[in-house]
């Protein structure tokens, strides 16, 4: 068993599935953390920097739903909280290989006013210390001291005017707060427009996405968050022993796993007018893959999920069922509750793929192949990879949804595009992803060797790796050979996560089986030997599915820190 | 000294002023509580119930800035938090006379889903128990047990459909509106935030009303968690009060109301869980609106939240912010008046009646201390102690300080100038008595004052200020100094009605309007001339431009509006779309029916598809410069059929909206697009096939 034999698996390549599941990132996603916004981790991004390709940009956002006009105190990072971005680059060694830890201090420069900014003085002015550990958290070195967090973008009087800060404009405050760490990273901490976008009001009203009545609304439109942004040389993130130049664009040595967290001290003692935190640090929020804890984990386990590290998931046994048989798939299957959510009607899970395989809730998926000659030598071969991907009957999504959250996807049959497979999904096909890092936990996994798709390229798509798969299956020259070659958007989610990637759309399509289809497990309306093209109406339905909210409400910047400047308190409707 | 006041003053009537100071109620108003939304007390209201005048309605709201679309967990009240509404009705006894305490429990009815409501089951479902103490908190009796709190108003599928709860939201509120065992009417649950204020403007260094651009209600489209209790006056009034009030300002009918939230002293976190222990510690409180938002500076806000009103009597550090409020700096040309242009209509008296200076650090009425002129008035040390004239350099000790700490007695000089014949210290026309001299911040209400019907032409969100203006200028009231009911005498700061525009009233009060009301006229008053001078008119005309709530209030208990729905127009801006991926845009349809609407500098490009249509058509439009957008569909006779879009400040981008024509007769329809600049209107034909 993989769970009990972590060490045995290291060095071996496992498997597959490149999509995930769910719907609205992680804003107030679990009961306990919903009441502690200052420590609430909302999103994590990791992508190769488009303007600086020998670096990776890591972003973690905190404090959901900030109102730009939320005065008099506005919002800022909390004291007595450890905000951390964690990187694993070697599944053979337990725990993080690189850890960045931010801690913050708040000062009132003029405690005599109720205004946040007045006459050049700033209240709740926040500065930070950044520490880095390269030894799994055993020791930390301080790499930034007294880093500046810009104020909130209150309005023109507070920011630009002489009675306020007298800044040239808000952008100059943001630029001025960018600093270089002593160890070479570029760093920014501060308020930004929330880069996530989703129709919260629709999706959480029992899955009304896209809305069946009325226009779609971006539930995070005109909202800010506080972001930690670090641009790190790939050389710093690279696994010890990895070649300085990747062997190819899917070099397995170039995979990192990224997650973020917030921790508080165990004991808070409040007294009139003060509070004192003491004791050990306890993790209260974490995030790796978007939306895991928002819509995969049900309410009864959300707080539990937040309390674990990804490394603890390897011994957990209660969470796996939610990936084997995700709740969302109930609503994409006419045998269950498919009829109850009309908005999902284009999304139907395969129930008879290739005439045989049923991926519906509680069904067997590929389990009937277990131990057969057909899977010999593939990632599904127990002799090579253990029983992880085919752990038992009734665990339909153990071959796609489970691995993408827990191990990433290797460049190995059957996890290659159907191109070149000649109708056999288990045959070798065209490579398109390798973000395999089998540590067993929820992380955003990025292969740093994959080239960057220019944000101005006509082929750039917020559909991320789905767009790359579609191109690899349908567009020449990509679909004319099985060579490893760069297909635009191979650098997109779930191979890392770019700011633009529409993870809600991609994950909903994945729950409905689009990843299975990409590797040749076609939809029910493809009849082998009869149907001419696997690009059937059902597949087109899934690919044509839209949530109604397909991009952020503000454009991202072309240069670090890429995030849009925060909404101004005087510029928003309400 | 203040300590002795309790003994010296209870029977004596003290003080005055009918207004106070500050700007945006108490949403995330202090640093510590801003990070603990669940225990954040937002507002308190207390008013005589317009439809049941033998009762008073007490409302406390918590958990600020709730987004209607804030799923999957939405908002509620907290377990391990004590939410309390406190009532003092007798200043001669220390502490509360009556306390209502609400405690909550949460349960997941279906822990297997991430949805909040599914198939009739609710997650994070809250129930509450309401306790009452009528002995100062020594003992409590449960008067409502384990009643259900309505869910968040998630949307039609979750609330109304058979997949959800299968009821309208109004039904859920009706079911949750109940009677306590002791006769109170009770509602505990979500509501629209009844407060209204331009947060974005005011906290950008006082830019209210905005000098550039449109003022906006910063708490519009937001919900709060509300505790509303309607209590018989017979229960709230002082024990020794007569059963029938002696008159409409009977001093025995004054109550002080405040609310609070408390947490246990020790919270212990474990992975995935938390526990609480120790004594209860008050972490948030509220009485008068905006005290801790815009009177108390940031360095003292946490301290203020931790005190009870009764502890303020012994406090020495907070009084200075009422004697010399920060806001007054911005209403005085010799200080920072020039720095806040939005307040230019508000100028404090620097030379009232030729001599009295109420500017910060000046002496106000201190020169009168101990003189024959003040003998027998509230300013007479021999009668009332040194509270109102504690020293030089404390100009607002006679108006702003007392309204927050004692209320206003019906005693000279705290009567309207009507009948005073030019001497502010003479007897005038009574208009308020909410005097309850316990020394602490509370909302003080005289329950003997009749309610002003909400549908009366005289009803005004200016509250007691409107009553003062009528009493000074309207012949019906200004022709005698007799005590009579003037409309809105039941308004803030005599209690607080939901409609009262407390931000405006308080800014006007800092601008000295209360002093003017009692005859301390503005600097441009010339003896013998009309006291209604340009400066007074400026103050009275001052407005923040956000004067009413974004939803209408109800005429019956609990009066607050239903919470905004998560699937409605308040659930976020309409999403901009990727144009390049839109099949009918890229399909070359643009152009066939595309029109350019030029409205000043703003441009909107729009068309609809399909056209002609049978059941429904999608109207697309492009906003090139951020603007308000309203799109409505009319028939050929000009009859409005439907408003498709009504969006404030829609960002630049491409949008689409669907128009359902099912059931309409075949014909031509028109879509009118209006933006906020210019009056050009574009007509699009929606030809129904």
What CA–CA distance (Å, rounded) separates B63 from B261? 11
How far A526 CA sits from the closest chain B CA (Å)?
A: 25
Q: Do A287 and A42 touch, CB atoms closer than 8 A?
A: yes
Listed residue (B570, B574, B688) closest to B635, CA to CA: B688
**Tokens 């060579």 correspond to what residue?**
A483
Beta bridge partners of A59: A45, A229
As a whole number of angstroms, the distance between CA B309 and CA B46 comes to 17
Give the count of beta carbons closer than 10 Å to the beta carbon of residue B107.
11
DSSP character for B662?
T
Q: Residue A486, Cβ neighbours under 10 Å: how many?
A: 15
What is the reported pTM? 0.90
The gap from C-alpha B60 to its chain's centroid, in whole angstroms, comes to 11
For every residue of B179-209, DSSP letters joined together read E-TTS-EEEEEEEE------HHHHTTTS--S
How many Å is the Cα radius of gyration of chain B?
A: 28
pLDDT digits (tens, 9 = 90+) for A545-554: 999 999 999 9
| B70 in contact with chain A, both atoms CB, cutoff 8 A | yes
User: pLDDT below 50 — which residues of chain B?
Assistant: 1-24, 578-603, 679
Task: Find the closest chain A residue to B266 by CA distance.
Answer: A269
Single out the residue of B618, B623, B677 nearest to residue B651, CA to CA: B623
Please tell me the distance from the alpha carbon of residue A253 to that of residue B163, in angstroms, as a whole number: 49
Which residues in chain A show pLDDT less than 70?
1-25
How many helices (H) and strands (E) chain B has is answered by 17, 22
B contacts of A549 (beta carbons < 8 Å): 575
Report the pLDDT value the prediction gives residue B577, as an integer from 0 to 100: 57
> Cα separation of A288 and A291, whole Å?
9
Q: Are strands A255-271 and A444-447 parallel, antiparallel or unpaired?
A: antiparallel
What does each C-alpha distance from B657 to B586, B630, B671 come to in angstroms? 18, 12, 11
- Cβ neighbours around B528 below 10 Å, total: 6
Q: Does B31 touch chain A (CB under 8 A)?
A: yes
Instruction: Provide the pLDDT for residue A295.
Output: 83
Contacts 24+ apart (CB under 8 A), B686-689: B686/B608, B686/B611, B686/B613, B686/B617, B686/B619, B686/B633, B686/B659, B686/B661, B687/B611, B687/B612, B687/B613, B688/B612, B688/B613, B688/B614, B688/B661, B688/B664, B689/B612, B689/B613, B689/B614
DSSP B504: H
CA distance B286 to B293: 10
Q: Whose structure tokens read 């925060």?
A: A566
Q: How far apart are CA B530 and CA B537, in angstroms?
A: 12
Answer yes or no: are the C-beta atoms of A468 and A529 closer than 8 Å.
no
Would you state the structure tokens that stand for residue A238, as one six-digit string? 């690279």
Neighbours of A4 (CB within 10 A): 10
Chain B CB within 8 Å of residue A329 CB: no
b/e A251-265 (16+ beta carbons within 10 angstroms → b)? bbbbbbbbbbbbbbb
Are residues B248 and B449 in contact, defined by beta-carbon separation less than 8 angstroms? yes
Full DSSP string of B518-552: TT---TT--TTS-S--HHHHHHHH---S--S-SSP
* Cα B251 from chain centre: 26
Task: Confirm if B500 and B465 have CB atoms less than 8 A apart.
Answer: no
| Residues in Cβ contact with A188 at an 8 Å cutoff, skipping those fewer than 6 apart | A174, A177, A178, A179, A227, A228, A229, A560, A561
Work out the burial of residue B136: count CB atoms within 10 Å of its CB; fewer than 13 is exposed, 13-18 middle, 19 or more buried: middle
* Per-residue tokens: B50: 């317009």
Residue with tokens 């798709």: A453
Instruction: Give the three-class secondary structure for B303.
Output: helix
Chain B (481-520) residues lying within 8 Å, Cβ to Cβ, of chain A: none
Instruction: Kindly report whether the peptide bond that precedes residue B373 is cis, defined as omega within 30 degrees of 0.
Output: no
Q: What is the pLDDT of residue A68?
A: 97
Buried/exposed code over B320-349 (b: 16+ C-beta within 10 A; e: otherwise) = ebbbbbbbbbbbbeeebbebbebbebbbbb
Q: DSSP E strands: which ranges in A310-452?
A: 444-447
Q: Is A65–B656 a contact, with Cβ atoms under 8 angstroms apart?
A: no
What does the pLDDT read at residue B657? Answer: 78
Location of structure tokens 């009870």: B308
Distance in Å from the first CA to the final CA of chain A = 53
Residues of B in contact with A554 (CB under 8 A): 651
Sole residue written with tokens 């939240």: B305
User: Does B576 sit within 8 Å of A300, measured CB to CB?
Assistant: no
Percent helix, strand, coil in chain A, to 5, is: 20, 20, 60
Which 100-159 residues of chain A touch chain B by CB within 8 A?
106, 108, 111-118, 123-124, 154-158
| Dihedral in degrees, nearest 10, Cα atoms A141, A142, A143, A149 | 150
Q: How far is CA B235 from the centre of its chain?
A: 26
> Measured between alpha carbons, how far apart are the two ends of chain B, in Å?
84
What CA–CA distance (Å, rounded) separates A68 from B144?
A: 39
* B270:A206 CB<8 A: no
The residue length of chain A stands at: 574
**Would you tell me which residues 5-44 of chain A have a C-beta closer than 8 angstroms to some C-beta of chain B?**
24, 27-32, 34-38
Residue B343 backbone phi and psi in degrees, to 5:
-95, 15
Residue B685, pLDDT score? 66
Give the best residue of B27, B33, B62, B73 to mutate against chain A (max A CB count within 10 A). Answer: B73
What's the gap in Å between the CA of B631 and the closest CA on chain A? Answer: 12
> Are B199 and A69 inside 8 Å of each other by CB?
yes
Q: Which residues of A284-304 are buried (b: 16+ CB within 10 A; e: fewer)?
A: bbbbbbbbbbbbbbbbbbbbb
Among A299, A309, A456, A567, pick the best mutation site for testing chain B contact (most B Cβ within 10 A). Answer: A299
C-alpha distances out from residue B322 to A285, A398, B208, B319, B463, Å: 42, 66, 21, 5, 21
If residue B169 lies in a helix (H) or strand (E), which one and from where to where? Answer: helix B169-176
Asked whether the beta carbons of B196 and B220 are under 8 A apart, the reply is yes
Do the beta carbons of residue B166 and residue B160 sit within 8 Å? yes
- A319, A401 Cβ separation under 8 angstroms: no
Q: How far apart are the C-alpha atoms of A87 and A58, rounded to whole Å?
A: 10
Portion 559-588 of B in contact with A at CB < 8 A: 565-568, 570-578, 581
State both tokens at B46.
């207390």
What is the spatial distance between Cα B184 and Cα A410, in angstroms, rounded to a whole number?
A: 66
């Amino acid at each position: 068993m993989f769970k009990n034999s972590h060490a045995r698996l290291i060095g071996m390549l496992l498997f597959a599935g490149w999509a995930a599941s769910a719907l609205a990132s992680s804003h107030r996603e679990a009961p306990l953390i919903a009441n502690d916004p200052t420590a609430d981790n909302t999103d994590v991004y990791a992508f190769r920097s488009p303007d600086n390709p020998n670096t990776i940009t890591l972003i973690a956002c905190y404090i959901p739903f900030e109102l730009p006009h939320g005065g008099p105190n506005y919002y800022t990072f909390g004291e007595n909280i450890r905000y951390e971005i964690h990187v694993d680059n070697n599944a053979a060694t337990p725990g993080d290989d690189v850890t960045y830890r931010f801690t913050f201090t708040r000062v009132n420069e003029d405690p005599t006013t109720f205004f946040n900014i007045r006459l050049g003085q700033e209240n709740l002015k926040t500065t930070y210390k950044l520490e880095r550990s390269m030894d799994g958290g055993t020791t930390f070195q301080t790499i930034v001291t007294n880093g500046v967090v810009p104020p909130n973008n209150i309005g023109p009087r507070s920011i630009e005017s002489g009675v306020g800060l007298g800044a040239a404009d808000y952008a100059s405050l943001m630029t001025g707060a960018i600093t270089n760490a002593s160890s070479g990273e570029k760093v920014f901490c501060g308020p930004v427009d929330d880069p996530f976008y989703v129709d919260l009001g629709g999706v959480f009203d029992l899955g009304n996405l896209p809305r069946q009545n009325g226009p779609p609304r971006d539930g995070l439109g005109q909202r800010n968050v506080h972001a930690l942004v670090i641009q790190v040389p790939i050389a710093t993130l690279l696994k010890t022993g990895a070649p300085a130049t990747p062997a190819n664009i899917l070099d397995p040595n170039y995979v990192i796993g990224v997650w973020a967290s917030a921790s508080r001290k165990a004991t808070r003692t409040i007294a009139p007018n003060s509070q004192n935190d003491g004791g050990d640090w306890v993790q209260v929020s974490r995030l790796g893959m978007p939306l895991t804890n928002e819509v995969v984990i049900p309410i009864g386990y959300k707080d539990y999920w937040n309390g674990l590290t990804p490394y603890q998931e390897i011994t957990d046994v209660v969470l796996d069922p939610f990936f084997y048989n995700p709740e969302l798939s109930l609503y994409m299957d006419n045998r269950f509750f498919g009829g109850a959510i009309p908005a999902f009607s284009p999304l139907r899970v395969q129930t008879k793929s290739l005439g045989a395989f049923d991926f519906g809730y509680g069904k067997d998926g590929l389990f009937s192949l277990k131990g057969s000659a057909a899977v010999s030598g593939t990632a599904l071969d127990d002799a090579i990879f253990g029983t992880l991907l085919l752990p038992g009957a009734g665990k339909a999504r153990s071959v796609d949804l489970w691995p993408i959250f827990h191990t990433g996807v290797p460049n190995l049959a059957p996890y290659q595009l159907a191109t070149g497979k000649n109708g056999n999904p288990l045959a070798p096909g065209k490579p398109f992803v390798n973000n395999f890092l089998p540590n067993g936990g929820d992380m955003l996994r990025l292969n740093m060797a994959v080239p960057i798709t220019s944000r101005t390229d006509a082929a750039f798509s917020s559909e991320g790796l789905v767009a790359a798969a579609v191109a690899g299956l349908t567009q020449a020259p990509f679909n004319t050979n099985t060579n490893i070659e760069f297909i635009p958007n191979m650098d997109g989610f779930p191979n890392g996560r770019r700011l633009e990637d529409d993870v809600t759309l991609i994950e909903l399509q994945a729950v409905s089986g689009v990843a299975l289809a990409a590797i040749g497990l076609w939809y029910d309306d493809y009849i082998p030997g009869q149907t001419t093209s696997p690009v059937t109406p059902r597949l087109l339905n899934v690919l044509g599915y839209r949530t109604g909210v397909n991009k952020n409400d503000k454009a991202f910047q072309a240069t670090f820190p890429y995030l849009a400047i925060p909404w101004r308190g005087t510029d928003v409707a309400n | 000294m203040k300590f002795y006041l309790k003994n010296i003053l209870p029977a004596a009537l003290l003080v005055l002023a009918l207004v106070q100071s500050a700007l945006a109620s108490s949403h995330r108003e202090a640093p510590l509580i801003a990070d603990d939304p669940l225990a954040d007390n937002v507002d308190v209201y207390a008013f005589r119930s317009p439809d049941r005048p033998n009762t008073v309605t007490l409302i406390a709201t918590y958990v600020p800035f709730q987004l209607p679309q804030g799923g999957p967990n939405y908002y509620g009240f907290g377990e391990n938090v004590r939410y309390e509404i406190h009532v003092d009705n007798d200043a001669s006894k220390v502490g509360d006379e009556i306390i209502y305490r609400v405690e909550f429990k949460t349960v997941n009815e279906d822990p297997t889903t991430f949805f909040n409501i599914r198939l009739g089951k609710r997650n994070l479902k809250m129930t509450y128990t309401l306790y009452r103490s009528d002995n100062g908190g020594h003992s409590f009796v449960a008067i409502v047990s384990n009643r259900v709190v309505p869910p968040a108003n998630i949307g039609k599928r979750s609330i109304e459909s058979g997949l959800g709860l299968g009821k309208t939201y109004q039904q859920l509120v009706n079911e949750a509106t109940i009677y306590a065992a002791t006769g109170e009417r009770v509602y505990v649950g979500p509501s629209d935030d009844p407060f209204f204020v331009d947060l974005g403007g005011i906290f950008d260094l006082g830019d209210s009303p905005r000098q550039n651009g449109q003022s906006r209600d910063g708490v519009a489209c937001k919900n709060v968690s509300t505790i509303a209790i309607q209590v018989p006056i017979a229960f709230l009034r002082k024990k020794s009060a007569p059963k029938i009030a002696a008159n409409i300002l009977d001093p025995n009918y004054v109550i002080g109301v405040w609310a609070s939230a408390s947490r246990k002293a020790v919270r212990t976190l474990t992975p995935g869980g938390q526990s609480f222990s120790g004594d209860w510690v008050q972490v948030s409180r509220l009485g008068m609106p905006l005290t801790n938002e815009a009177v108390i500076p940031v360095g003292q806000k946490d301290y203020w939240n931790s005190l009870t009103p009764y502890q303020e009597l012994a406090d020495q550090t907070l009084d200075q912010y009422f004697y010399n409020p920060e806001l007054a700096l911005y209403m005085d040309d010799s200080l920072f008046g020039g720095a806040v242009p939005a307040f230019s209509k508000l100028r404090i008296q620097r030379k009232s009646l030729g001599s009295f200076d109420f500017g910060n650090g000046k002496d106000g009425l201190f020169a009168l201390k101990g003189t024959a002129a003040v003998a027998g008035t509230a300013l007479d040390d021999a009668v009332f102690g040194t509270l109102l004239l504690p020293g030089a350099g404390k100009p607002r000790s006679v108006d702003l300080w007392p309204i927050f700490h004692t209320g206003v007695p019906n005693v000279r000089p705290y009567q309207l100038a009507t009948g005073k014949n030019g001497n502010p210290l003479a007897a005038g026309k009574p208009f308020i008595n909410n005097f309850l001299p316990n020394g602490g911040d509370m909302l003080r209400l005289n329950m003997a004052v009749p309610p002003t019907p909400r549908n009366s032409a005289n009803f005004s969100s200016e509250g007691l200020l409107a009553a003062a203006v009528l009493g000074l200028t309207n012949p019906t009231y200004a022709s005698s100094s007799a005590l009579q009911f003037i409309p809105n005498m039941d308004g803030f700061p005599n209690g607080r009605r939901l409609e009262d525009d407390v931000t405006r009233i308080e800014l006007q009060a800092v601008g000295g309007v209360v002093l003017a009301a009692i005859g301390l006229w503005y600097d441009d008053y010339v003896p013998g001339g009309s006291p209604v001078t340009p400066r007074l008119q400026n103050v009275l005309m001052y407005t923040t431009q956000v004067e009413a709530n974004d939803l209408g209030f109800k005429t019956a208990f609990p009066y607050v509006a239903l919470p905004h729905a998560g699937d409605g127009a308040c659930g976020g801006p309409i999403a901009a779309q990727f144009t390049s991926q839109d099949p009918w845009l890229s399909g070359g349809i643009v152009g066939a029916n595309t029109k350019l609407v030029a409205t000043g500098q703003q441009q909107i490009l729009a068309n609809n598809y399909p056209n002609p249509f049978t059941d429904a058509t999608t109207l697309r439009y492009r906003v090139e410069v951020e603007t308000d957008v309203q799109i409505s569909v009319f028939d050929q006779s000009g009859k409005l059929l439907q408003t498709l879009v009504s969006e404030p400040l829609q960002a630049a981008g491409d949008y689409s909206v669907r128009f359902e024509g099912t059931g309409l007769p075949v014909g031509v329809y028109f879509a009118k697009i209006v933006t906020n600049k210019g009056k050009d209107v574009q007509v699009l034909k929606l030809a129904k096939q």
